[in-house]
Homo-oligomer: A and B are copies of this chain.
Amino acid sequence: MPEARDEPLIERLAVIGVGLIGSSILQAARAANAARVLVATDLSEKVRKRVIELQIADEVATDAATAVKVADLVIVCVPVGQMDAAAGAFAGSLKKGAIVSDVGSVKSAIVAAMQPKLPPHAHLIPAHPVAGTEHSGPDAGFAELFDNRWCIVTPPADADKAAAEKVIAFWHALGSNVEIMDPQHHDLVLAITSHLPHLIAYNIVGTASDLEEFLRAEVIKFSAGGFRDFTRIAASDPTMWRDVFLHNKDAVLEMLGRFNEDLASLAKAIRGGKGEELFELFTRTRAVRRSIIEIGQETAEPDFGRRRKKNEPVVPLARPYASD
Contacts and interface: CB of A to CB of B under 8 A. Distances in A.
Interface in A1-39: 19
A239 B293 CA distance: 22
A284 B208 CA distance: 11
Interface in A204-253: 204-211, 215, 218-239, 241-243, 245-246, 249, 252-253
Contact of A321 (B44, B243, B323): B44
A324 interface: yes
Interface residues of A, number: 128
A59 interface: no
Contacts of A130: 222, 224-225
B239 A320 contact: yes
Given A136-B321, A229-B232, A323-B43, A286 B203 contact: no
B226 A266 contact: no
Contact of A223 (B44, B218, B222, B298): B298
A77 interface: no
**Total copies of this chain within the assembly:** 2
A238 B279 contact: yes
A243 to B, nearest CB: 8
Interface stretch (A67-75, A95-103, A116-124, A299-307): A299-307
B285 A270 contact: no
A182 interface: no
Contact of A258 (B207, B243, B284, B318): B207
A46 B137 contact: no
Given A263-B203, A285-B205, A224 B131 contact: yes
30 contacts: A43-B323, A47-B321, A144-B312, A150-B222, A150-B224, A179-B221, A189-B218, A192-B208, A192-B211, A192-B219, A193-B219, A193-B225, A202-B285, A203-B262, A205-B288, A206-B266, A206-B284, A207-B255, A209-B284, A221-B295, A223-B298, A226-B233, A229-B230, A232-B298, A236-B286, A241-B282, A242-B278, A252-B270, A253-B271, A305-B306
